[in-house]
Every structure is written in structure tokens, then in C-alpha cells.
């Protein structure tokens, strides 16, 4: 185990030092009672059975029974405290991991797939949980018994014990060799399992697409392929662990065979009593079983260390943005881009935006239009600072937005997207997602202004109606109106509408557009639109093509320029 991993796990263990201390106490009692048993057995043989001293038989048996009771009770309490502390540690670790995942920048989620992150939250944390609870407890118990057993073996016969020490170097070398190999294979296995989780997450989240193209069989085959790869890695790891256990057990049982031969010779010559040899054999079996168990646990511990690396890599990854910068007490809502260029982190060689310059005054409605992939949505993503620009400046109320606390800035920015995301909860909780402290009257007013009240009240449960996963129980227009109500409840100073009506039928579009008009009133609004009929009232329209602003003007000005891109977009849309 490297120093970094040791420091990580030590800090994790310190959070449960009281519970672990109790576990350690009962570990000592459990191991001690196990090590006392061979002593009592020797005494029974040499002082009761051999001289046939019947009077001491009952006290000897009672002593052995008490040792067994202490061993059982202390062992159970050891398991309880170590397992409980492990559960708590990993619960806190999961909580911290989830918090850190949510704290990452948007670019982090562009690079890391959802399935892999879910794998770290579930299987990696579970593997680590077993390591820091049951495996550590068993490992410490076996280690204590191995060391204690060796000490009593030397006390019984130092000559025989010295010969046993010759077995330690091959065990130590095999532990080092196999341990490194198991750790690498465990890392590979966790990675392969994460790949299978990625496929499952993509398939289940896009199940309608899968079924519409009748791709169930292909997706099953794709998932099976990833599982087969994970199984192959698991088989290699299990084979390595099994080989290590075989080596350890062979050395252990070879030692027992040697003791029978050499110890038997010592008994015959009178150097050892029968009780001494029996005691030595019992201690040797305790040591052999302990070493064999440590061999098996070593593989699990290495798997846990591999899992801990994947977990801590995210926990210790600092997001580019933090909560530094000044908080915003009020915002007028002016937006200005000055020579802004941008490329996505995964494609740094492709400029999505090139020297973009424009200004939006407070309360203005400005539209962005252009072909797909021209950079419209990217501009909308830069205003709440989801990404860092390559060059240039973005000014909010005349000040570089990098001077603001990014979380404070986002409190003043509302977003209604083409595909609104709803949480799997009630309609009320979805509306309140932007303002958890909102009163019932405010929620009601927001729903009414969003033209959502009629369909909400048509449900038997009203505002307490469950929307299902991702709002599956609602139509597209209903989901969009819930999203508008959510934005209204936030009451943002800057509003970004990203294709908010593009997926709706005519009837739904009319209701949504009416709600959007109420939402836009008095707010700086950036409308990203394909349907040019929805932006005729915009104060300004910026036409974007290949990351550059190629035209600027009102609808009438741009429509009258028959050589411009806007005119061609109009002709194409209304032809």
C-alpha cells in the first residue's frame, strides 16, 4: 500500500476512532481467548488426562468452556463494532463523493460518463466498504493470532519454532509478488465493471430510442460483451488469489507435517511432553489458518485499495470554479461579450466561437439564430459560466463576470431548455426546485402564469401528482409549462430560452409562448430559436454562422436583406 492510499484510509478511519477502539478492544479479547485455548488443552493433557486426575477434569473443562464463551462473545462484538464503523465510514464517503461529483464543472461531466460515475458511487464504494469493515477486522484478528501463536510456539519449543521461521521468507516474497499483481488486476476489473454500467445507464435512460429502433438484442449483446470483459478480468484476479492461497496453504500444511515428524521425535526422546506437542500443533494450526486467511483477505484488501483510488481521485479533484468572488446583491441584467473565443475541453483544436462581440441592455429581448452547430447554445451556456472562455471578456452589468461568485451569478440566471429535466417527484416539488422556500400561494401564482394550472388541477392529486422519472407522466407541453413555472418562481434577472418551443405541437406552443411572454416581461432575455416566427418582436437578432456573428438587426431589417443568411433561413422555413 502506497503512502498516499495509507494517508487517505487513515483519515477515513479517524472519523470512527471511538467505535474502532471498542472493536480493537474486543479484537484483543477474542484473539487472546483463542490463544489461551491451546494452553488449557496442554494443561488438560499433562495434568489431568495423562495422570488420570479425575478431580481436575471438571475445572479444566469449565476453563476451556469459558475460553470458548469469551471467544464467541468478544468475536461477535468485534464484528459488530468494526462492521458498524465501516458502514458509517463508507456512508460518509458516499455522501462526500456525491457532493464532490455535483460540485464539478460541466466540462467534468463532458469527459466522465454517467455510468462510470454511478459505478464509483455503487460498486467501488461497496468494495471499499468490505475492505474497511469486515476485511480489516478479519485481517487484524488473523494477524494477532499469527503473531501471538508464533510467540507461544517459541515459548513451547524454541528449536521447533526456529525451524518454522524458515517458512516465513517464501510467504513474505509470495505476498509481495502476488499483492502487486492482484492490485493491478483489481483496478482493471473495477474499470471493466464501470464500462458495463455505462452501457446499462445509456440503454435504460434511452429506452424509447432503443425500442423504436428494435435494438434490444444488440444492447443486450453490447452489455454482455462488457460483462464478459469484466468476467475475464475477474477470472484473472481470482486465479491469482487462488494461486496465492494455494502457496500459503501448502507452506502452512507442510509446516504441520514437519512438526509431526520432528515433534514426534522430541516426544519419543523426552524433550517434549505430549501436551507440549499438542499445544505446539494447535498454535501452528492457528498460525497456518491465520496465514491462509490473510492470503485470501489480501486479495480483497488490494481490490479495496484499487476501488479507493477511483473514489478518492474524484473526491480530491478540485473543480475549476469555486465559491470565491463577490456575491451579487442585485443585478440590472446587462450582458456584453468582448472578442470571446471558446472551444470545448474535449475538442480544444476546434473553435466553437470566434471573437464574438455583442451587447444586450437590461430588459432587452435578444435572439440568436443560425444553422445547427453554429454556436448558439454555447453562448447561452457561457453566460451562467458553465465553461471557461479561451479568450476575451464577458461583462455582466459592466463588470467581468469572473469577479463574481459563480453560484451567486447563477441565482440571477434562469434557463428554460428544449428538453426540460424534471425530478422524479411531485409537480409542486418540481416547481419549487428553483425556490424551496416558496409559499403555496407563490407556487399557485407561478403555475397560473405558466398556463399550467388547468392541467395540474385536472389531476386527482393536483400539485401532489407524481410526474414519474424525467417527467414521463406528462406531455411535452406540460413539462415545458412546469419548467416555465419553475423559472417564474425563481424570478431571474437574466433569462435564457433555448429552443423552448421547438418540440411542441401548435396548440401546446401557443400556450407555452403565452407563458413565455409573461416570463420575459421586464427581464433581459436571450432567445435561442429555430422557429423564426417566435422572435419577430426581439429588440435585436444576432445571426450566428460557424461561430461568428454574420448579421445583426431587427426582424424587418434582416428580412429585407435578400443576400443575408437570415433571409435564406426564412425562405427555407416558410417555403
pLDDT at residue number 336: 92
pLDDT at residue number 46: 81
- C-alpha dihedral over 565, 569, 572, 573, to 10 degrees? -170
pLDDT band for position 502 (50/70/90)?
A: low
- Residue 253 pairs with which residues in a beta bridge? none
Average pLDDT, the chain: 81
- The full DSSP string for 35-55 is HHHHHHHHHHIIIIITTT-GG
Residue 280 φ then ψ, to 5°: -65, -40
| Grid cell at residue 494 | 437574466
Count H helices, E strands: the chain?
21, 10
Contact 94, 125 (CB under 8 A): yes
Residues 6+ apart with CB under 8 A from 301: 131, 135, 136, 139
Q: What is the DSSP letter of 324?
A: -
pLDDT at residue number 260: 74
- C-alpha dihedral over 343, 348, 349, 355, to 10 degrees? 30
> For 126-140, 212-226, 306-320, 557-571, which range has the lowest pLDDT when averaged over its residues?
126-140
Q: What is the DSSP letter of 415?
A: E
pLDDT at residue number 245: 76
Q: In what order do the strands lie in the sheet with 540-545?
A: 413-416, 494-498, 524-528, 365-369, 540-545, 548-553
Q: For residues 360 and 541, what is the distance between their CA atoms, to the nearest angstrom? A: 11
Burial environment of residue 503 by CB neighbours within 10 A (0 to 12, 13 to 18, 19 or more): middle
- Is the dihedral angle over the CA atoms 194, 200, 202, 204 positive or is it negative? negative
| Grid cell at residue 561 | 436583406
pLDDT band for position 392 (50/70/90)?
A: very high
Given a cut of 70, whether residue 167 has pLDDT beyond it is: no
- Is the dihedral angle over the CA atoms 529, 381, 514, 494 positive or is it negative? negative
- Is the dihedral angle over the CA atoms 132, 135, 138, 144 positive or is it negative? negative
Residue 318 φ then ψ, to 5°: -85, 130
Helix (H) / strand (E) element for 243: namely: helix 216-269
SS3 of 527-566: EECCCHHHHCCCCEEEEEECCEEEEEECHHHHHHCCCCHH
pLDDT at residue number 140: 76
Q: For residues 243 and 295, what is the distance between their CA atoms, to the nearest angstrom? A: 10
Mean pLDDT in residue range 132-155: 77
- The full DSSP string for 483-544 is HHHHHHHH--SEEEEESTTTT--HHHHHHHHHHHHHHHTTSEEEEE-S-GGGGTT-SEEEEE
pLDDT at residue number 33: 83
Mean pLDDT in residue range 121-141: 74
189-217 pLDDT per residue, tens: 877 877 887 788 778 767 766 776 677 88
Q: Domain boundaries in the chain?
A: 3-315, 426-491
Q: For residues 256 and 41, what is the distance between their CA atoms, to the nearest angstrom? A: 18
Q: For residues 56 and 413, what is the distance between their CA atoms, to the nearest angstrom? A: 86
Contact 383, 394 (CB under 8 A): yes
Mean pLDDT in residue range 150-174: 73
Given a cut of 90, whether residue 304 has pLDDT beyond it is: no
Q: For residues 508 and 510, what is the distance between their CA atoms, to the nearest angstrom? A: 5
240-299 pLDDT per residue, tens: 888 877 877 777 677 777 777 777 777 777 777 888 778 877 877 777 777 666 666 666
Residue 553 φ then ψ, to 5°: 160, -175
SS3 of 334-393: CEEEEEEEECCHHHCCCCCEEEEEEEECCCCEEEEECCCCCCHHHHHHHCCCCCCCCEEE
Residue scoring higher pLDDT (134 or 455): 455
Residue scoring higher pLDDT (157 or 567): 567
Helix (H) / strand (E) element for 478: namely: helix 476-490
Contact 226, 199 (CB under 8 A): yes
Which three-class secondary structure state does DSSP give residue 307? helix
Residue scoring higher pLDDT (521 or 340): 340
Contact 285, 35 (CB under 8 A): no
Closest CA to 353 of 363, 334, 333, 368: 368
| Grid cell at residue 541 | 437578432
Superfamily of domain 3-315: ABC transporter type 1, transmembrane domain (1.20.1560.10)
Helix (H) / strand (E) element for 99: namely: helix 57-103
Amino acid at each position: 500500500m502506497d503512502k498516499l492510499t495509507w494517508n487517505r484510509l487513515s483519515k477515513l478511519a479517524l472519523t470512527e476512532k471511538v467505535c474502532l477502539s471498542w472493536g480493537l478492544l474486543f479484537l484483543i479479547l477474542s484473539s487472546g481467548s483463542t490463544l489461551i485455548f491451546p494452553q488449557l488443552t496442554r494443561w488438560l493433557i499433562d495434568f489431568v488426562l495423562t495422570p488420570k486426575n479425575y478431580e481436575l477434569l471438571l475445572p479444566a473443562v469449565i476453563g476451556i468452556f469459558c475460553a470458548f464463551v469469551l471467544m464467541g462473545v468478544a468475536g461477535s462484538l468485534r464484528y459488530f463494532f468494526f462492521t458498524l464503523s465501516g458502514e458509517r465510514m463508507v456512508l460518509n464517503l458516499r455522501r462526500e463523493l456525491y457532493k464532490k461529483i455535483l460540485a464539478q464543472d460541466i466540462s467534468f461531466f463532458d469527459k466522465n460518463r454517467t455510468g462510470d460515475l454511478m459505478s464509483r458511487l455503487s460498486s467501488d464504494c461497496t468494495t471499499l466498504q468490505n475492505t474497511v469493515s469486515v476485511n480489516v477486522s478479519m485481517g487484524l484478528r488473523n494477524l494477532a493470532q499469527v503473531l501471538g501463536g508464533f510467540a507461544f510456539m517459541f515459548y513451547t519449543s524454541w528449536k521447533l519454532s526456529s525451524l518454522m521461521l524458515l517458512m516465513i521468507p517464501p510467504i513474505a516474497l509470495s505476498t509481495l509478488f502476488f499483492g502487486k499483481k492482484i492490485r493491478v488486476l483489481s483496478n482493471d476489473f473495477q474499470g471493466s465493471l464501470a464500462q458495463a454500467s455505462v452501457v446499462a445507464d445509456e440503454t435504460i435512460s434511452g429506452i424509447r430510442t432503443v425500442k423504436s429502433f428494435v435494438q434490444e438484442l444488440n444492447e443486450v449483446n453490447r452489455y454482455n460483451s462488457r460483462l464478459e470483459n469484466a468476467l475475464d478480468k475477474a477470472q484473472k484476479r481470482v486465479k491469482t488469489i487462488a494461486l496465492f492461497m494455494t502457496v500459503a496453504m501448502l507452506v502452512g500444511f507442510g509446516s504441520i507435517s514437519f512438526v509431526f515428524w520432528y515433534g514426534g521425535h522430541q516426544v519419543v526422546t523426552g524433550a517434549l511432553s505430549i501436551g507440549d506437542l499438542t499445544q505446539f500443533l494447535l498454535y501452528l494450526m492457528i498460525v497456518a489458518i491465520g496465514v491462509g486467511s490473510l492470503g485470501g483477505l489480501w486479495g480483497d484488501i488490494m481490490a479495496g485499495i484499487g476501488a479507493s483510488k477511483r473514489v478518492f481521485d474524484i473526491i480530491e479533484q478540485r473543480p475549476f470554479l469555486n465559491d470565491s468572488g463577490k456575491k451579487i446583491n442585485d443585478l440590472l441584467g446587462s450582458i456584453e461579450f468582448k472578442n470571446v473565443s471558446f472551444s470545448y475541453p474535449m475538442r480544444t483544436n476546434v473553435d466553437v466561437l470566434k471573437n464574438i462581440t455583442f451587447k444586450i441592455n437590461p430588459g432587452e429581448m435578444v435572439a440568436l439564430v443560425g444553422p445547427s452547430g453554429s454556436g448558439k447554445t454555447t453562448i447561452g451556456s457561457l453566460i451562467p459560466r458553465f465553461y471557461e472562455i479561451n479568450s476575451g471578456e464577458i461583462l455582466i452589468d459592466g463588470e467581468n463576470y469572473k469577479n463574481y461568485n459563480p453560484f451567486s451569478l447563477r441565482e440571477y440566471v434562469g434557463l428554460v431548455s428544449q428538453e426540460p429535466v424534471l425530478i422524479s417527484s411531485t409537480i409542486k416539488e418540481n416547481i419549487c426546485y428553483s425556490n424551496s422556500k416558496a409559499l403555496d400561494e407563490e407556487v399557485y401564482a407561478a403555475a397560473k402564469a405558466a398556463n399550467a394550472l388547468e392541467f395540474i388541477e385536472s389531476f386527482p392529486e393536483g400539485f401532489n401528482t407524481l410526474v414519474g422519472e424525467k417527467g414521463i407522466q406528462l406531455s411535452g407541453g406540460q413539462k415545458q409549462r412546469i419548467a416555465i413555472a419553475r423559472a417564474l418562481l425563481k424570478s431571474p434577472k437574466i433569462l435564457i430560452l433555448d429552443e423552448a418551443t421547438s418540440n411542441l405541437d401548435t396548440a401546446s406552443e401557443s400556450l407555452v409562448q403565452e407563458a413565455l411572454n409573461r416570463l420575459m416581461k421586464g427581464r433581459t432575455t436571450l432567445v435561442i430559436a429555430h422557429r423564426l416566427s417566435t422572435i419577430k418582436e426581439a429588440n435585436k437578432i444576432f445571426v450566428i454562422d460557424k461561430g461568428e456573428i454574420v448579421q445583426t438587426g431587427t426582424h424587418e431589417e434582416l428580412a429585407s436583406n435578400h443576400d443575408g443568411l437570415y433571409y435564406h433561413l426564412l425562405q427555407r422555413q416558410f417555403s
